[in-house]
Chain A
Amino acid sequence: MSIIVIYTIVTLSLIGATAAIILYFVAQKFKVFEDPRIDEVEGALPGANCGGCGFAGCRAFAEACVKASDLGDLNCPVGGNDTMASVATTLGLEAVKKDPRVAFIRCNGTCDNRPKTSSFDGASTCSIASSVYSGETDCQFGCLGYGDCVDACDFDAIDLRAEMGVPLILDDKCVACGACVDACPKNLIELRKKMPKDRKIVVACRNTDKGGVARKACSVACIGCGKCEKVCAFDAITIENNLAFIDSDKCKLCRKCAPVCPTNSILELNFPPRKVKPEPELETKEN
């Protein structure tokens, strides 16, 4: 009985040892060299695998960083400048500072502002609703509110607000990975420059219809009147196809444009309440 046990142990050990020797030489022969810095860079990244950098995941981004000769075109929006600085130190390159960004839904067509004129009871996703028809309201550009952006967001940064009709992006959670930008079939979401205290001056509208048509569909639609363009001292506002657009890279948050907007389509967010007599000059110096 015991001899069988001994035989078994010896045979198995021999097989194991032979396999180990073969595997050792095979491993030597087919060894793949991998830059150890890739692991280091990957360790410095947030590990969200969101694809916001334009690569398939954090590992792919790390490989690209190691291969790159300068980091000008590479940016991890989730980690921001701190992460990119530590990546740069690891690789001995110079970090390029980038302005942090934040996503914004350019539609304020909530149920109160934009009355429903029809109803859709098909599959409740924006992509299908928009492929079937223009939407439940008369505005063919506005948010459909089924939340394709919410599904696309890996960071829980979008609140569907089903009762309001338009989702809300939570600035403190948004990392500007851009997943929602691609998910929105109406192209409503824009990545804007992140301002101090999350302040924003933005035209919350994408309606390029003529003024009357736009206004009829939604009470806060941009009618392209051009008043804001005239009042802007920094050339940040452009009007194209009956629609104003505020370039967040040029805007100095002076708040001059918002009060002149006849339809209140320019939103000022996260500002302290205006004084009775607004003094925009004070705000200008803030940045």
Chain B
Amino acid sequence: MLKTFKLGGVHPPENKLSKNQKIETLALPKSVFIPVAMHIGAPATPLVKKGDKVKVGQVIAQSSSFVSTNIHSSVSGTVKKVDFSADSSGYPKQGIFIDVEGDEWMDEIDRTTDLVKEISVDGAEIVKRIQDAGIVGLGGATFPTHVKLVPPKGMKAELLLINGVECEPYLTADHRLMLEKADEIMVGIQLLMKAMNVDKAVIGIENNKPDAIQLLKEKCKTCPGVSVVALKVQYPQGGEKQLINAVTGREVPSGALPIAVGAVVSNVGTAFAVYEAIQKNKPLFERVVTVTGKGVLKPSNFLVRIGTPTSELVEAAGGLPDDTGKIISGGPMMGKAIPSLDVPVTKGTSGILLMREEESKRKEVLNCIRCSRCTSVCPMGLEPYLLMTLGEKQIFDRAEQERVMDCIECGSCSYTCPSNRPLLDYIRFGKGKVGAIIRSRKK
């Protein structure tokens, strides 16, 4: 029997429309907007000013603390301005506007496609290079990777887990990457293993990607210590705590990080970015983005420069369908609707999903009938109906006791609710408030 995580989970229709589309390189946009806060942690500090000439791969904003990361220019051209512009939340965020002129890369970047297998640097150097290259978790959480690789005092990593699950419906970016860049990913995994000083890595892939499982199993034969585990299709298996549970059977305690059970989880996209950063000297300034949706003419996977406006991607996938109701950055379960097409692609954008009008509408909210479906699907073992009420009535102390902070915001509860209750909306609200209370208590 295939492995999966123990608690809860749902299985929404997969709709992987673009799984057979090869990754295409998107044409350069005319201008880009690169936000300085594309990661969890402190925003980077801009280094350039209006009128500066920049090259592809040049550092344009510097990491401002340990939990932060460098931002590199994704294009060559002139800095138009360093200003605030609305991001996916509609609130203005600082960023750098660059007008594209040509495509001139930094000299040290190796632009050949030859596979470089020999690892010539030591562990500490790898971590430093990852930090310099601005690599963050590309699964969507955008947590700076170098922070994960250095375990806190008294803890030791034993196992590297590579997340090739891609449990979100529609998205195929990781799937395509595994098929097309398998060799590079394997080298990336070895680099990560060396940086963490572990001798075992497991790649978790859901069973709906048999081609990727087979290919990577093949590649593993030449890589000692690396193995592939096929997993039962179950959302949200891509959550790091769920993946650890599915692969190792261990359970991350409430409030703790995966390192507490000796595991570090990285996405396959991250492993690929690590390969490029170390072996090809190429910092993180482009990523694979799936553009998909039932109304989309040509669902595709694009290799996109960070900062490209969403409109360019939609255009390349055949234009905006007339009946589009919602544009979602990310997948349908955890993604976020964006208010305009000017929103740029950031390091965490794994997909652009165009939902048709009739799919996107929320249904009428009815009363809770205490069916407890939300409780049975919650992968963290919480009671969503209760947390929703606590959020609604603003009873935050009780919400904290009920472990609202453990919620991974996967949305399984809202998805499964027969009364269409906006469970996650209220839980996320309560989580935000409780988080603020906890932070103010620490001060």
Contacts and interface: CB of A to CB of B under 8 A. Distances in A.
Interface of A: 117-118, 121-123, 127-128, 131-135, 140
B26 interface: no
A244 to B, nearest CB: 21
Interface stretch (B2-10, B229-237, B426-434): B426-434
Contact of B429 (A117, A118, A128): A128
Interface string B89-106: 111100000000000000
Given A117-B339, A121-B362, A123-B422, A134 B429 contact: no
A123 B361 contact: no
Contacts of A131: 428-429, 432
A135 B362 contact: no
6 contacts: A118-B90, A122-B422, A123-B429, A128-B426, A133-B88, A134-B89
A118 B432 CA distance: 24
B340 A118 contact: yes
Contacts of B336: 132
A135 B90 contact: yes
Contacts of A128: 425-426, 428-429
Contacts of A123: 422, 425-426, 429
Contacts, number: 40
B362 A134 contact: no
Instruction: Please tell me the size bucket of the interface on B.
Output: 10 to 19
Given A121-B361, A122-B362, A140 B92 contact: yes
A134 B89 CA distance: 6
Given A121-B362, A140-B92, A134 B426 contact: no
B215 interface: no
Contacts of A135: 90
Given A122-B422, A122-B425, A123-B425, A132 B361 contact: no
B86 interface: yes
B90 A133 contact: yes
Contacts of B340: 117-118
A122 B88 CA distance: 16
User: What 9 A-B pairs come out closest when comparing CB atoms?
Assistant: A134-B90, A123-B425, A123-B422, A118-B339, A133-B90, A121-B362, A133-B89, A122-B425, A128-B429
Contacts of B432: 131
Contact of A134 (B91, B361, B425): B91
Contacts of B428: 128, 131
Contacts of B86: 134, 140
A285 B336 CA distance: 56
Contacts of B339: 117-118, 133-134
Interface in B330-359: 336, 339-340
A111 B425 CA distance: 25
Interface string B397-433: 0000000000000000000000000100110110010
A118 B339 CA distance: 6
A140 B91 contact: yes
A175 to B, nearest CB: 22
Contacts of A133: 88-91, 339
B339 to A, nearest CB: 4
Contacts of B422: 122-123
Nearest to B429: A128
A135 B426 CA distance: 17
Contacts of B429: 123, 127-128, 131
A132 B92 CA distance: 13
Q: Which of B89, B361, B429 has the most CB of A within 10 A?
A: B429
Given A122-B425, A128-B425, 11 more contacts: A118-B340, A121-B361, A122-B362, A123-B422, A123-B425, A123-B429, A132-B336, A133-B89, A134-B86, A140-B90, A140-B91
A221 to B, nearest CB: 16
A147 to B, nearest CB: 14
A121 B365 CA distance: 11
Contacts of B361: 121
A123 B91 CA distance: 19
Nearest to B426: A123
A128 B428 CA distance: 8
A127 B238 CA distance: 30
B395 to A, nearest CB: 14
A118 B341 CA distance: 11
A260 to B, nearest CB: 29
Contacts of A118: 90, 339-340
B363 to A, nearest CB: 10
Q: Which of B361, B362, B425, B432 has the most CB of A within 10 A?
A: B425
A121 B357 CA distance: 13
Contacts of A127: 429
A213 to B, nearest CB: 10
A131 B86 CA distance: 15
Contacts of B426: 123, 128
A116 to B, nearest CB: 11
Nearest to A139: B90
Nearest to A132: B89
